Amino acid sequence: MGKGFMIVCDGSNGAGKTTVIKAIEEHLKSRGLQAVITREPGGTPIGEKIRDILLCPDTPEMCDVAELMLFGAARAQHVQEKILPAIRAGKVVVSDRFDAATLSFQHYARGLDIGLVKQINELALDGFRPDMNIILDLDPVLGLERVHQRGERLDRMETQKLEFLQKARQGYLEQARLSPSMFSILDASRPLAEVVSDALGVVDELIRRHGGQMAVGTP
């Protein structure tokens, strides 16, 4: 059995993660690779229940530490139940958000101590690291406009002040500055086709790096 790898698609709200991930999935399949598409918070039955609690707009009273630990709990379950088995089976895991989001939102935006946030991330990751974070970078003002155009009710995180979302954006840029080999920053204010094309270029580079170790065919 080959060894797979993991790509995270992350970044600002409304930056186009959903669309880019769909394109990555199709691209991987066209290359004959087995893709596992997943998301955070969520990705497992337990994680999806935690997601409902985290994003429910009716509970704005959630305290910051409870929020951090819930993201961590969902991730621990995600890693053990879904991600590690898929990678061991040689599949390519593509996750909509992952651990960089916790540093960006709970540390850089929320202001929780960086040591505490890293500790929760390490506990949840159990030594695992994703191979690449593709960050779709967008001014949150533009991102929220796109989300509003979808006409859906905003979730608990989206109702935070604009300043909070600006700090989270800067958090991703700072993480990329500190660990450039783990991050690809894409300007998501450009036409979607250009963003998708760049994202697929990053994926192709990862496939080359992992040359021939992944499982092929339908899951």
Q: Which chain residues interact with ligand Z5A by CB under 6 A? A: 13-19, 40-41, 55, 71, 96-97, 101-102, 105-106, 146-147, 150, 157-158, 165, 188, 191-192, 195
Output 102 or 184, the one with its CB closest to ligand Z5A.
102
Specify whether the CB–CB gap between 107 and 171 falls below 8 A.
yes
Specify whether the CB–CB gap between 134 and 7 falls below 8 A.
yes
Rounded to whole angstroms, the Cα distance separating 12 from 172 reads 9
Minimum distance from CB of 41 to ligand Z5A (Å)? 5
Q: What is the 3-state composition of the chain as percent helix, strand, coil, each rounded to the nearest 5?
A: 55, 15, 30
Output 34 or 121, the one with its CB closest to ligand Z5A.
121
HEC sequence for 103-117: HHHHHHHCCCCHHHH
Minimum distance from CB of 181 to ligand Z5A (Å)? 21
Minimum distance from CB of 192 to ligand Z5A (Å)? 4
Q: Please classify residue 43 by burial: count the beta carbons closer than 10 Å to its beta carbon, then call 0-12 exposed, 13-18 middle and 19+ buried.
A: buried
Minimum distance from CB of 36 to ligand Z5A (Å)? 17
Output 93 or 101, the one with its CB closest to ligand Z5A.
101
> Do the bridges between strand 5-11 and strand 35-39 make them parallel or antiparallel, or are there none, so unpaired?
unpaired
Sign of the C-alpha dihedral computed for residues 182, 29, 18 and 149 taken in this order: positive
Minimum distance from CB of 150 to ligand Z5A (Å)? 5
Residue 37 has a CB neighbour count (10 Å cut-off) of 16
Output 4 or 41, the one with its CB closest to ligand Z5A.
41
Minimum distance from CB of 216 to ligand Z5A (Å)? 28
Output 33 or 195, the one with its CB closest to ligand Z5A.
195
Output 77 or 106, the one with its CB closest to ligand Z5A.
106
Which residue in the shown chain puts its C-beta closest to ligand Z5A? 16
Rounded to whole angstroms, the Cα distance separating 38 from 7 reads 10
Residue type, 95: S
